[in-house]
Structures are given as C-alpha cells and as structure tokens.
Amino acid sequence: MELKQTFPLTIKRLGINGEGVGYFKRQVVFVPGALPGEEVVAEVTKVHPKFTEARVKKIRKRSEHRVTPVCPVYEECGGCQLQHLHYSQQLKEKRDIIIQALERHTKLPIAELKINDTIGMENPWGYRNKSQFQVAERKGKILAGLYGLNSHKLINIEQCAVQHPATTKANEVVKKILQDLNIPIYNERSGKGLVRTIVARTGIQSGELQIVLITTKKELPKKELIVEEIKKVLPEVTSIVQNINGQKTSIIFGDETETLEGNDFIQETLGDLQFELSARTFFQLNPEQTVKLYDEVKQAAGLTGKEKIVDAYCGVGTIGLWLAGNAGEIRGMDVIRESIEDARKNADRHGIQHARYEVGKAEKWLPKWEKEGWRPDVIVVDPPRTGCDEEFLKTVLKIKPKTFVYVSCNPSTLAKDIAKLSKDYEVESIQPVDMFPHTAHVECISQLILKEGN
C-alpha cells in the first residue's frame, strides 16, 4: 500500500470511531464517511504497519441507509460522525460495535449472549445541555466553535443540530457582546489576549442557563457592561461565571472560579432528584437518555430493598442516589474530593440517610469495609473511557459481590475488563443506550452475575 493509491473496496462494518471498515488484500482499511454495504473507490491517505487509512474518492454503490446530514459544517467539524447514516440504522450499528469489541477482546460465546437492541431517542436532536466553544478572532471577526477534524482550524458554529437551542443562542449572544465591546480574544499561537472559551449550560428541566467565560487573566475589562448586556438579552441566565486559566494547555477549566452575577450554580432535575450544577461540576450531557440509562442500571442491579450497594467511581453520587430508594445501604467513593463533598450534599438534600461517601479508591475502601464485616451485594461502576483500574478489578474478584453492574462508554475497555472478570462472572445481559445520537459513542450496561460455586 502506498499514499494516493486507489482501489475498489467493499465496506463490511463500522469501526469504533464511526469510520467504514473494509479489507484489501487482507489489509484492514479505515474509511471515514463510508457505510457498511457500500462499494467505494478508496484513496490511501496514511499507511500504518497493521492498517491503512483512506478517503472515499467515489461511491459506486450507496447504502440504502445513507442520508443527507442536516449540519452545514458536518464534514469539517468532526463533532458528529454519523449524521450521514439514518438514525434507526445508527442504533443497529452501535449494538454491532459492542459485539465486535467482545469478539476481539474476549473468548465469550457471543451468539449465546443476551445483547439487547440499543435504546434510542424519539427526537435525537438538540439534546446536549452544555457547549464548550473555543473563541478566536479572524479578520476582526470573533468566531466560536470547535477545532476541525484532525486540524487546528477553528470552525465557527452558529447552529449545532445536537446542541440544545438555549446553549446555541447563548453562544451567539455572548459572541456578539464580546465583539461589540471589543474585548480582547486569546490567540493560541502568540499566547496573547484574554477570552479563550465560552461555556453555556442549560438546565433542560429547570430552564435555567449558566454562562462561563474562561479567560487567561482575572482582570476582565468592561466586566459590568458584559454582565449587563448578557442579562438584558438573555433574561433566562441565572448564573454568570468567570474561570481563569492562564496555562498553555488544551484543558478547558483553570482552578480559579468567580461568580460575576447570580448564583454559583444552576438547578437540574433527573427523575425525582434535583442537582446543583456549578461551572466545573461533571453532569451527564443528555439528561433525557440519562434517566433511561439509570433505570436500566436499577433493573440490572436486581434490587429488593435490602441490598448493600457500592457505587464505585461515584462522582457526585447520581447513580447511587438513583438506586437508593430500592436499596438497604449505599456506599460510594471517588478520588476527587469536591465530587464526594457534592455527593454528600446531594444525599442530604434528598433526605437519603443510608448513603455514605468517602474520598479514595474502591480498592482501598472495599477491603477495609470487608475487615469491618461489611460486604456489598452489588457493585455498580461507571469508569472513564480508559476502563476500570487493574487493582479495582482484582479487588472485585476478591470481594465477590453477587452482582456487578458495569456502565461503560467505551466498548473496547469494557470487553477487556469483562475478559478479566469472566472466570468468576457470567455476562447475564448487555443493554446498549444511545447517549450521543449522530456520534460514534455508545454507552452500555452489562449485568455480571457471580458463577455458582464462587
């Protein structure tokens, strides 16, 4: 294989990043934008020792599921990967992505596993409750949006089909205010300038709106005017915050945060639970699907009202609190102190007295509690994309809860972790949930049950 080489290719499936996957002379070829079942002419863009990347030069046979993307900057932006695939087919392909990961990383009898159909959305648009748009100035005009796919060019986004309309409107308003008041914009190359990111988050249930300006320095010229203008044009804004990040980094938030107007947080509701979301609080980006996800977790946990539950990697306690009404006791842990403080506050606010939250790793707390005579019936885990910590999995295999519920946002790391647990645990069921329609992301809940004799 060499650069610019062209060849006919039949696309067999979708890859984990939403690209088409085909085989040419036994070499795997990844082709962004190509769909399963299509016959294309592919042109090589990159050659690697074990695979090749290519682009679609021509489609000879189109997929019956191919549709026209609604977004005008879809191909430049890269924020979504699957807008060109009909939504009902996206759900089928996402289930298939999980199957592929299990085939690659486990020895499980896939055909015998209960892998349910993906739970989708009735209206898979405008679902994201938060946007983080980088800001730049080009030819005297302020732009806000995302960096293009594999490039460092900022794509100005005025309408985003997957963002909640309230966040899109807020971005446009703030962009115009910064332009009109001539506020200096950060230049990544020179390191000069002030405003680097606009963050907008809406409480989809509460209707409250928070705007965060991320700046390189604390001194913000015309601060009062900026606040006044935002309030005038966007009366639904209940929180205006400034966050200071002077580091040369791709990390969005700095350590210092100051509330310029209104509350430090906005309110949001999930089912019967209320949450206070401050500027840096992690919260699920698609609340409508989060309710479906957590209900599936509750079902997988198989609660009768007596179970002792561990909510590992608990964050601000959302999953544990969702299960609390059907459980005997909840214990959660997380390495981030602020998250644990929030989890305790959230439990207090909802009058949940049988929940306990500790700072630290599960592999430290589980053996300690076992020595004290406390052993969980159910462990629920929702780890980052990198999957579960090796030590944590070893601890689970020692503690041996009857049920292990694994919430995963990365099929590859899920499959690798299941392979490690499968000597002692049966995979009872896997339920995919589409948290991010039109992207390649797929979330799923795996119910693992301790094998008899363990």
Query: Which residues are designated catalytic?
Result: 409
Task: Compute and round to an integer the Cα radius of gyration of the chain.
Answer: 24
Q: How many CB atoms lie within 10 A of CB 353?
A: 10
| Of the candidates 314, 268, 319, the residue with the CA atom closest to the CA atom of residue 298 | 319
Find how far residue 321's CA is from the centre of its chain. Answer: 20
The rounded distance, in Å, linking the Cα atoms of 290 and 409 is 13
**Contact by Cβ (8 Å): 23, 33:** no
The rounded distance, in Å, linking the Cα atoms of 448 and 29 is 34
The rounded distance, in Å, linking the Cα atoms of 195 and 134 is 9
Give me the torsion for CA of 3, 6, 8, 10, rounded to 10°: 30
| Helical ranges in 106-182 per DSSP H | 165-180
Phi-psi region of 431 (alpha: psi -120 to 50; beta: other; left: phi over 0): beta
